[in-house]
A and B are shown apart, each in its own frame.
Chain A
Amino acid sequence: MRASRVLLAGAAGLTLILSACTTDAPEDPDGASADGENGGELTPDAEWFDQAEFDAQLAQRDIEPEGPADEPWMQAIEPEWVDTADFAIDDPEDAHVCFSNASVSNPWRVTGFITMEQQVEALVDEGRIGSFDSSDAADDDNQQISDIQAFVDSGNCDAIIISPSTTATLTPAVETACESGVPVVVFDRGVNSDCMVTFIHPIGGYAYGADAADFLVENLDPGSTVLALRILPGVDVLEHRWAAAQEIFGDSELDVLGFEFTEGDGAQIKDLVSQHLQRGEVNGIWMDAGDGAVAGLEAFEDAGQPYPVIAGEDELSFMRKWDEEGLTAIGPVYSNFQWRTPVIAAGMILAGEEVPAEWILPQEPVREDDLDEYLDRNSDMPSLHYAKFGGEDLPGFPEAWVDR
């Protein structure tokens, strides 16, 4: 048995050594170029980067949207209005609106779904729609396909709203819903079809990632080190944010140390940031989503290091920390108020009013100068609530969001 013992010991040792070899020399000591380093690769992956879409989203940030400025959920960037007279029904006050939700598996979606339910209450009170029904697929594509099919088969839905869990897999299900003849509204993530009456979404992931990266480039000296914290790989909305950041960091003189996947878990974020701080300075933190930003900042506190320049999100625990500590920070926004728009659009379509074919909502980050205003407006709200939820004028405010 001696031979096999040696073999096993060798295998264990080899694994350790191999993992050491392949990733040796992790740091480029002079920091001149981060290219080619593991994790510090600054050329976006072609699978997740579309130059034309990137340019379009960056340009959309500067376009004045049409619509009332105090109701951003009704605004649209460069809308192409489509006629919906064919979908108008005689008695919208009795209309039954069905919603197939991908999930409420993260705080952003929880906040949004509450806003949507309160918006429904308002629309029912106004007689714009009659009743509302939703299904939750818990991030399962197959579940959502059957949820949509069930809505179609029931024949009770006068309009179907869909927030797809993934793009390609849900496309046929959305097309099935379109073929049933009732108006279909898609929002948040898209599908590869234009059969729906309107597709509602904020500007997008590239703009989000670019807002964050631009801020770091503007507020850090050349040669400063930046650590990127990402939730997980392979999700398009998150990959787009990182691709945009890679594009911008690649043209800057910042030294990107690399990126880490954290699963949004505070303990992992704090541990990873602590370890980077043991090996050297970190001057800036870029995040693809802001939950857990506070845990990252605590790692600096516990290590006795100055706070970094940080891009978080419009999530309240981060914004409160930003205010208390006077951080140099930005809160990029993936507009949470977009959850209001689909039900409003359904009401408009059933009344035969025009809607934009692609309803692009504004997406404006929270900056230093409007931090106080947003903290004020959300002073009763709990952590993990999103400041730009846009539901202040809805029935049930603020209790519905406070007691979630």
Chain B
Amino acid sequence: MSALRGGTGTVTVLLVLIFVVIATQNPSFFEGPPLMAFAKKAAPLVVLAIGQYLVIVSGEFDLSVGSLVGAQVVIAARLIDGDQAMTYPVIGLMLLFGLLVGLVNGLVTTLLKVPSIITTLGTMLILFGAVRYWTGGAPTGALSEDFRVFGRHGPDGVPVIGQLPWALVIAVVLTVGAILLMRSPYGRSLMATGDNDTAAAFSGVRVWRVRTLAFVGSSLMATVAAILIGGFAGVTAQVGEGLEFTAITAVVLGGVVLGGGRGTVVAAVLGALTVEALFTLFNQLYLPSTIQPTAQGLIIIAAVAYASRRGDLRLPERLRRRPDHPNERQLDSSRR
């Protein structure tokens, strides 16, 4: 029952509710292979949500992940160009590139004190423009079969489920890793920084380093998501578009408060699964594509409102203060 406390209650209920409606529409959904197909599709968003969680819980945003996913897939296709031997060198290069983007995001935000929403918006535009310039608007090249294995295949012949997708394995490993990370001293510093960075700084946390590492984590997760998405569906010109908002939606739906300091990795992962389940539900219901965003918006607002009424999302003390106490802001905060 502890899963129903600490912010994950509402999202769990919503996820179960959605699965029940899906089951009434399509009972075969819960047989092995369709469920594994769902896992394969949902894995990239789960990975992205973990990365976004790290940044949001530290009190920042990362809007650059959608563009980064797009850029990474396009770079991979161009450099691999169908050559199996290039697969692992290029994956290594992608991870380095992700590391670099995360470092830039983090250092610009923490040392140059540019608000992260601006920093990462800038990175998003820079990557989007650079990729369009580099490719002339249309990606070229092709991914190798080895590269696509992660997002598309897995060991066959597993009882009941048929094929165990690598994407699911990767998502589970990263989820467990993130849970352990949040229990480590670093995780506690990250959470403390998001809750109140001034207090964290006074207690010896090097805020800039903690936050920069969170951005690096987010960009690396985006890189893994790019490998999974590229593997899942190959290269198209639109890959990655809008993913940053889907990832933020997932995290918020999971009950991680924008502004930082609250929420768990599990909640973010459940949020991602819920968003993907919603897409699947709409599809199973033959809901017209044109009305889907509206229905999605209504459900998300209702769910988050319900959660905050229940107290799942009780805001940190800092955010509940009335603004008519100017004296309270006397401490020179490194928050912008």
Contact = CB atoms under 8 A, between A and B. Distances in A.
Q: Do chains A and B interact in one complex?
A: yes
Contacts of B303: 12
B286 to A, nearest CB: 4
A15 B234 contact: no
A272 B290 CA distance: 15
A267 interface: yes
B286 A383 contact: no
Most chain B Cβ neighbours within 10 Å, of A269, A270, A385 = A270
Most chain A Cβ neighbours within 10 Å, of B37, B286, B305 = B286
A: contact size bracket: 35 or more
A8 B136 contact: no
Given A26-B286, A384-B140, A404-B138, A8 B302 contact: yes
Contact of A1 (B17, B241, B280, B309): B309
Contacts of B34: 278
A56 interface: no
B309 A8 contact: yes
Contacts of B289: 233, 260-261
B259 to A, nearest CB: 22
Contacts of B239: 265-267
Interface string B14-41: 1001100100011011000110010001
Interface in A1-58: 1, 4-5, 8-9, 11-13, 15-16, 19-20, 23-24, 26, 37-39
Interface in A227-259: 233, 258
A111 interface: yes
Interface in A304-326: 317
Contact of A16 (B18, B28, B280, B286): B18
A302 interface: yes
Given A8-B306, A265-B236, A404 B140 contact: yes
B298 interface: yes
Given A20-B285, A111-B138, A270 B233 contact: yes
A291 interface: yes
Contact of B290 (A107, A233, A271, A317): A233
A382 B302 contact: no
Given A106-B137, A110-B136, A111-B138, A15 B306 contact: no
A258 B306 contact: no
A271 B137 contact: no
B40 to A, nearest CB: 8
Contacts of B232: 267, 270
Interface in B64-102: none
Contact of A278 (B37, B142, B295, B309): B37
A275 B283 contact: yes
Most chain A Cβ neighbours within 10 Å, of B233, B239, B288, B299 = B233
A263 B238 contact: yes
Given A19-B287, A104-B137, A267-B229, A5 B309 contact: yes
Nearest to A107: B138
A104 B135 CA distance: 11
A15 B298 contact: yes
Interface of B: 14, 17-18, 21, 25-26, 28-29, 33-34, 37, 41, 44, 135-142, 152, 229, 232-239, 241, 279-280, 282-290, 295, 298-299, 302-303, 305-306, 309-310
16 contacts: A5-B306, A8-B309, A15-B295, A15-B298, A15-B302, A16-B18, A26-B286, A110-B137, A233-B290, A264-B237, A267-B232, A267-B236, A278-B37, A295-B233, A295-B236, A384-B138
